[in-house]
């Protein structure tokens, strides 16, 4: 919970608009798993299927801590890239990976997600096989505001979606608790 005076006593220190490059990997993924359900005695062997369609977002930069999982980028609002429409002081970052690498990263992350979901149904996954069918890949840039604000003697960062204005991630100062 944020301190009550954070809006009044905070100040904008830095703001920068950066167009981040993303790959969106549109795919259908299906995993068949086998595992052991040990929550009851005797343990029971179970198997099941996890299937879904994904528009999986891959940040096309290496060594970044951008919270891709917390960011929803809709393909419905995409428009052709026009350099003339970019704000003058904004940075546009280029991709550091091609579509093949983005597909492999999406496949690995979806497989990890399916294994995580399978562990909700079984306690121990014995075998899992995932079929990953790529329907298309899309390369696009998305405007992200990187904002730093000060509150008392500390700095905090907020990431805003430049298209929608929604907060992607924001750091809040903590309240000082005192023991009586």
Contacts of 146 (CB under 8 A, 6+ apart): 14, 15, 16, 17, 18, 157, 159
pLDDT in tens, 86-101: 888 999 999 999 999 9
What pLDDT is recorded for position 83?
80
Spans of all domains in the chain: 11-170
Closest of 159, 169, 135, 166 to residue 56, by C-alpha: 135
DSSP-H helix ranges across the chain: 6-9, 99-121
Tell me, what's the pLDDT at 179? Answer: 59
pLDDT in tens, 46-101: 999 999 999 999 999 988 888 998 888 877 777 788 888 888 899 999 999 999 99
Range of weakest confidence among 25-29, 80-84, 111-115, 123-127 = 80-84
Q: How far apart are alpha carbons 168 and 67 in whole angstroms? A: 8
Cα diameter, the chain = 67
The predicted structure's pLDDT at residue 74? 77
């Amino acid at each position: 919970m944020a301190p009550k005076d954070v809006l009044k006593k905070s100040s904008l220190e830095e703001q920068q608009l950066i167009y981040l490059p993303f790959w969106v990997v549109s795919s259908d993924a299906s995993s068949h798993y086998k595992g052991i359900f040990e929550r009851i005695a005797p343990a029971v062997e179970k198997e099941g299927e996890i299937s879904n369609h994904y528009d999986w977002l891959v940040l096309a930069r290496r060594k970044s801590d951008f919270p891709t999982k917390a960011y929803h980028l809709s393909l419905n609002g995409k428009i052709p890239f026009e350099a003339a429409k970019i704000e003058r002081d904004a940075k546009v970052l280029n991709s550091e990976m091609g579509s093949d690498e983005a597909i492999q990263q999406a496949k690995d992350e979806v497989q990890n997600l399916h294994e995580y979901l399978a562990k909700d149904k079984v306690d121990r996954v014995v075998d899992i096989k995932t079929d990953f069918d790529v329907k298309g890949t899309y390369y696009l840039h998305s405007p992200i505001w990187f904002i730093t604000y000060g509150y008392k003697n500390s700095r905090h960062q907020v990431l805003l979606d430049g298209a929608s204005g929604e907060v992607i991630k924001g750091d809040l100062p903590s309240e000082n608790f005192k023991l009586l």
